[in-house]
Amino acid sequence: MSRVHAVVSRSVCLVAALFASELSAQELAFTAEQMERGQQLYVSNCAACHLPSLQGAFEAPALRGSNFQNQWQGRPVSDLHTLISETMPAQSPGSLTVQQNTDIVAYLLSQNELSPASAALQADSTAPLFADADGPAAASSVAAVQEQRTPLPGFPGTIRSPEARDRAPEVGTLFSTDTSTTHMYQQADHFRNVTSSELASPADADWTYWRKNPQSHGYSPLDQINKENVTDLSLAWVWGMEPGRSQPGPLVRSGVMFVPNAGNVIQALDAASGTILWEYRRVFADGGGDGALLRTLAMWEDMIYVATADAHLVALDARTGQVRWEVEIADDAKGFGNTSGPIVADGIVINGINGCQQFQLESCFITGHEGTPAKKSGEHSPFSNMGLGLRIRGEDFPRNSGVAGMSGFPVAGIRRPGWCSLV
């Protein structure tokens, strides 16, 4: 009895082995129906992250093109099916059926230059993926990569290297100083200079102060989004910010968004598509500054002002991110630094220093620097109260009196022991 059983099971094995080798010899095939069903499933379950074009965004990689094909070339189609079944959609892995995932794989194949046929795709097919993707196809994909020189929406600059998704971009103009590097990928040509009168009364579509206007109203008069349609809002793009504590108030001008990131990394993004235009990265003398918090920036004319964690004030060219000038506000070795971000009034960059909670002799103070572009680095001597103290509403405040940790508060946060005032 046991002998018969053994013979039967061996022949079953043989049949299975034959069947498998027949399959692997098969071309990769899927039907038009599978592809169409897969497309609908893709749109509702995957496109939010990988984009309707399959080009990928942010951390979700492209699911078409040479990177994707190189990644999967020669591997059995069942591996791709398994990966999708077990890990995707990223927010609810395993939520789709075997058949639905098979249809999605068929759709992905159709988007990678494979045509539907009469034979249906099976989830456990061992047929190798993109087996023919060498020779002429590989040559043409190299050409495509070379053409693609400008940044993609949601990616940290230009194209990603195939090996490392998150690697720093390869293409861009590099400007460097002793204290920074700027990568410029695309000049923000459409940025229009911001005059003092525009700062005083910003255009509806702009957000040129940390709270929109000098009165800090924080109110946008734009009315395209309203009570009726707010529920229809959906994700337009995602941008991965620098790791660290983050409480930024970005600024927007002429469709360019300026974002202060942790670590004093300042980025200019195309606000419509999330494409990076340039990135300024602070280099700290002691290598530190990681996660340094900066809540906002200021802008005036064609400059973006950055108050750095190591107590400097930097003016960047709004179109390229290149450093125009830089001054030391205070000695960071004594614990001084910036977290709030400056504001501009009448061409003066007003900043409240931080890091002086220790109440040492030299305590916190507010500075005003001329924002003018004319001077070179080092020539921007502060015009006001370094050492002078402040006189507000007829009352003298000693210089050692202000701690400015919050944006917009360099003036509002004047303080002296036992006495608090908002002005």
Tokens of 114: 């494979």
Report, in Å, the least distance between residue 268 CB and ligand HEC. 25
Choose between 54 and 356: whose C-beta lies nearer to ligand HEC: 54
DSSP letter at 215 equals T
Q: What is the 3-state secondary structure (H, E, C) of 245-306?
A: CCCCECEEECCEEEEEECCCEEEEEECCCCEEEEEEEECCCCCCCCCCCCCECEEEECEEEE
Report, in Å, the least distance between residue 62 CB and ligand HEC.
7
Structure tokens at 278: 């340039």
CA distance 48 to 235: 7
CA torsion angle for 300, 304, 310, 311 (degrees, to 10)? 0
Strand blocks (E) in 124-230 = 173-177, 180-184
Task: Say whether the peptide bond before residue 89 is cis (omega within 30 degrees of 0).
Answer: yes
DSSP 120: P
Which residue, 111 or 308, is less far from ligand HEC as judged by CB?
Answer: 111
Smallest gap from residue 55 Cβ to ligand HEC (A):
12
From the CB of 50, what's the least distance to ligand HEC, in Å? Answer: 6
Q: How far is the CB of 140 from ligand HEC (least distance, A)?
A: 20
Answer yes or no: are the C-beta atoms of 125 and 28 closer than 8 Å. Answer: yes
DSSP E strands: which ranges in 61-194?
Answer: 173-177, 180-184
Of residues 282, 300, 392, the one with CA closest to residue 350: 300
CB of 100 to ligand HEC, least distance (A): 8
Nearer to ligand HEC, 60 or 251 (CB): 60
Compute CA 65 distance to the chain's CA centroid, rounded to the nearest angstrom: 23
Q: At what angle do helices 77-87 and 98-110 cross, to 10 degrees?
A: 120
3-state SS, one letter per residue, for 324-336 = EEEEECCCHHHCC
Cα 196 from Cα 198, distance rounded (Å): 5
Q: C-beta of 67: minimal distance to ligand HEC in Å?
A: 7
Of residues 92 and 197, the one with the C-beta less far from ligand HEC: 92
Tokens, residue 391: 């006189």
Query: In the bound complex, what is the minimum distance in angstroms from residue 71's beta carbon to ligand HEC?
Result: 4
Contacting residues toward ligand HEC, per CB under 6 A: 45-46, 48-50, 59-61, 63, 68, 71, 83-84, 88-91, 104
Least separation in angstroms between residue 160's CB and ligand HEC is 11
Q: Which two tokens stand for residue 78?
A: 């069942």
